[in-house]
Structure 1
Amino acid sequence: MSEEPTTSPQNFSPAWAGAEGRTDPPLVGDEREVLLAYLEFHRETFALKCAGVPVERLSELLVPPSGLSLHGLLRHLTGVEQWWLQIQFAGDESVPLLYYSDDDPDQDFERLDGDFEQALATWRAQVATSRRIVAAAPSLDATGIHKATGQPVSLRRILVHLLAEYARHNGHADLLRERADGTTGY
């Protein structure tokens, strides 16, 4: 079985994805190194899914009857990063929730007002915040407070959850990207 290419497609735009290609996770490493490498791989994959898509197609609902768009997925993943790492793990509730309110809980997918490039910059900034939080954690056993239960939640559990979120939504992004311009892979 051949491995996926680590280089980007012809229409790749570094302005969108931020880096040329993506880094394959290591074949050997400790638990933290492997978990973080896979999370970065999935983050980079999502950025590649959005790279080069005509801006007018990023907010389109391309796979009816689904309400998903690349723009909506980007906003959702931004909120996921904030909720799990900044709020629940680090306990930082100093900034308002991104793309969510009790009155409008689905605004990440449904209210696609605003510029995709601004949403991309917000995602990149939130990912940078997430990276700083994880880097400062002494171990994968460090805990935050799970808001739904009030119970401790470990960094390990949060990282596995983030991996699952990105993997699931990268699958959605595959379909959306193929519908947007026919690009498949990576």
Structure 2
Amino acid sequence: MGSPLLDAIGARRSYSVVTADAPGRAELLPLVQAAARAADHGALRPWRLIELRGEARAALGDAFVASAGLDGPAAAKLAAKPLRASLLIAVVASRRSSDKVPHWEQDAAAAGVAHLLSLLLEDAGWGVMWRTGAHTRTGPVRRVHGLADSEELLGWLYVGGIPDTAKPAVRPPLTPTDFLTSLPL
């Protein structure tokens, strides 16, 4: 017997192509509030999200080009990558000083927020894809996001409308017992 949550998660997919439609800030705020319920040891909230719309996406493309040291057609192609969606949401691990919560665990909390937000966006009818890449942690990309020394960029959620031509996700089912084992004693 399935549940609506189990069914929604089972139907989740990444949309590599989205339309120019995107949720507005007012629609995003309650989704961010709900995503903040992700597991967070110590309730540090070691994350933040940055909206990139309009010219901010072009600035990110320029940072990609600067980090790659390209020019000509290759630079133009790279600069256009952030323009594939009208809304990008940068996911930032904003590490806090803590004696009991190591940085890797804080990064996991930030990733949990991003994943929950992607599920919530899809549930609201938006297409989402979490993108990373070779330029994610370069100096020019860090600078364009205004990251502090204690922060790391985990990637971007590319968000837009779901195209009419979108095909259903094709991911072969897995055998859960291959991934859920018991501690050998």
Q: Which has the larger radius of gyration?
A: 2
Range into which the TM-score falls when normalised by the shorter chain: under 0.3
Could you state the TM-score of these two structures normalised by the residue count of structure 2?
0.27
Q: Compare the two structures and name the one with the higher strand fraction.
A: 2
Could you state the TM-score of these two structures normalised by the residue count of structure 1?
0.27
